[in-house]
Amino acid sequence: MDIRDERIIDGKATAKSIVEEIGEEAEKFSRGKRAPSLRVIILGEDPASRVYVRNKIKTAKKCNIESELLELPDDLEEGELFDIIEDFNSDSGIDGFMVQLPLPAHINENEVIRRISPQKDVDGIHPFNLGMMVEGNPQFIPCTPLGITELLKRYRVRTEGKKAVIIGRSIIVGKPMALILSSKLEQGNATVTVCHSRTPDIEKETREADILVSAVGKPEFITGDMVKEDAVVIDVGVNRVEDTSRKKGYRLAGDVDFQSVLPRVSLITPVPGGVGPMTVAMLMKNTLKAAKMASGS
Ligand code: GUN
C-alpha cells in the first residue's frame, strides 16, 4: 500500500493534527482552573477492548486532558456499576466519562447508558443525546460517526444529494451515522440506506452507494465488485484475523477487501490508520466540550 496514494484517507495524520489542536485548546482552557477530565470504565479482560481504552488514556495525555482508567472485574454486579456511575455523575471534578462496550452478558447495557448523565456522556449514546441528534441539534455525537464526519469534511467530500449506504445498525455507529448523513447539517442532506443482517441483497444496495460506510465486523466482506466506480468508502471494521506469520499471531483486517476495492474508489479509509484514530480523537473533542459546558464557557 502506497500511503501517498491520494485516494487513501490518512486518518492517523488527521487525528494527530486534531489531537494537537485539542491539546492547545485544553491548555488555554486550563489556565487558572483545572484541566478537562475524563474517566474510562472497562469491565473484564477482552484484549481488543483493553488496547482501545489504553489508547484513549494515552491520547488524553497528549490533549492536556486529565484522565483515569477504572479497570473492573467482569463479574462485577450491575448495582456496583450503577453506584460508580452515580458517583461520577455527581463528581464535579469529572467532566466526562464512558463505559467501554460491550459489557458482560449479566449487565443491561441500555440501563447502564441511561444512568450516565447526558451532560457527561462524551460517548454521545445516552437517549437524550441521541434524541438531540434526531431533533437536529446535537449535543454530543458518538465518537466514530463524528470522526467519520470530520474526515468527510477535511477531505472535502460533498454529501448533499448523494446516496449513502451504511452497513450496520448499532447505537454507536450505524444509527447515528444515518442520522448525520440524512440531517440538514453540513455533512448531511444525503439519501441514506441502512443495511443489516436481514437485508436480502446487500450487494445491490452497496453498488448504488456514492458513500459507503461499513460497520459490519466481517473481515474483507466488501469486495471490489460490490462498490460503485468513484465511491467514497469508509471502513469501520477492526477485525482480528489469525496470521501465524505475525509476532502477535494475528493481523488487523477491515470490513473492506482493500486490494480489490482501492482501484474503484475516489477515496477510502485504510485499516489500521483510518477511522480508528479519529474515534479516539473525537472522544477528546467531546471531553473538552463537556468541560467547557460544565464551566459555562
Ligand atoms: N466499543 C467500541 N467502540 C466503542 C465506543 O465508541 N464507545 C464505547 N463505549 N464502547 C465502544
Query: Considering the domain boundaries, does residue 208 fall inside one?
Result: yes
Residue 151 and residue 269 in one domain: yes
- Look at the chain and report how many structural domains it folds into: 2
Could you identify the atom of ligand 1 that is nearest to the CA of residue 49?
Answer: 1
Residue 116 and residue 230 in one domain: no
| pLDDT by 10s per residue, the chain, length 297 | 555 799 999 999 999 999 999 999 999 999 989 999 999 999 999 999 999 999 999 999 999 999 999 999 999 999 999 999 999 999 999 999 999 999 999 999 999 999 999 999 999 999 999 999 999 999 999 999 999 999 999 999 999 999 999 999 999 999 999 999 999 999 999 999 999 999 999 999 999 999 999 999 999 999 999 999 999 999 999 999 999 999 999 999 999 999 999 999 999 999 999 999 999 999 999 999 999 999 997
Give the residue carrying C-alpha cell 464535579.
92
**Contact assessment for residue 191 and residue 160, using Cβ atoms and an 8 Å cutoff:** no
Is residue 119 flagged as an active site residue?
A: no
Query: Considering the domain boundaries, does residue 285 fall inside one?
Result: no
Residue 90 and residue 215 in one domain: no
Give the residue carrying C-alpha cell 469529572.
94
DSSP string, 125-179: -SHHHHHHHHHT--SS--HHHHHHHHHHHHTT---TT-EEEEE---TTTHHHHHH
Query: Considering the domain boundaries, does residue 4 fall inside one?
Result: no
Q: Residue 38: give the domain boundaries.
A: 33-121
**Contact assessment for residue 255 and residue 233, using Cβ atoms and an 8 Å cutoff:** no
Catalytic residue (choose from 10, 95, 121, 123): 123
Residues with Cβ within 8 Å of 51's Cβ and at least 6 positions away in sequence, in order, are none
- Ligand 1 mutation pick, 50, 98, 275, 285, max ligand atoms within 8 A of CB: 98
* Rounded-to-integer distance, Cα 103 and Cα 8, Å: 34
Find the CATH number of the domain harbouring 39: 3.40.50.10860
pLDDT number for residue 4: 73
Residue 147 and residue 269 in one domain: yes
169-193 burial: b if 16+ Cβ within 10 Å, else e: bbbbbbbbbbbbbbbebebbebebb
Give the residue carrying C-alpha cell 454521545.
124
Q: Using a 6 Å cutoff on CB, does residue 210 contact ligand 1?
A: no
Could you identify the atom of ligand 1 that is nearest to the CA of residue 279?
Answer: 6
Is residue 123 flagged as an active site residue?
A: yes
Query: Considering the domain boundaries, does residue 15 fall inside one?
Result: no
Find the CATH number of the domain harbouring 204: 3.40.50.720
Residue 230 and residue 195 in one domain: yes
> What is the pTM assigned to this prediction?
0.97
3-class state of residue 9 by DSSP: coil
Residue 147 and residue 255 in one domain: yes
Query: Considering the domain boundaries, does residue 64 fall inside one?
Result: yes
Going from the C-alpha of 287 to that of each of 5, 26, 166, 241, 281, the distances in angstroms are 33, 10, 27, 33, 10
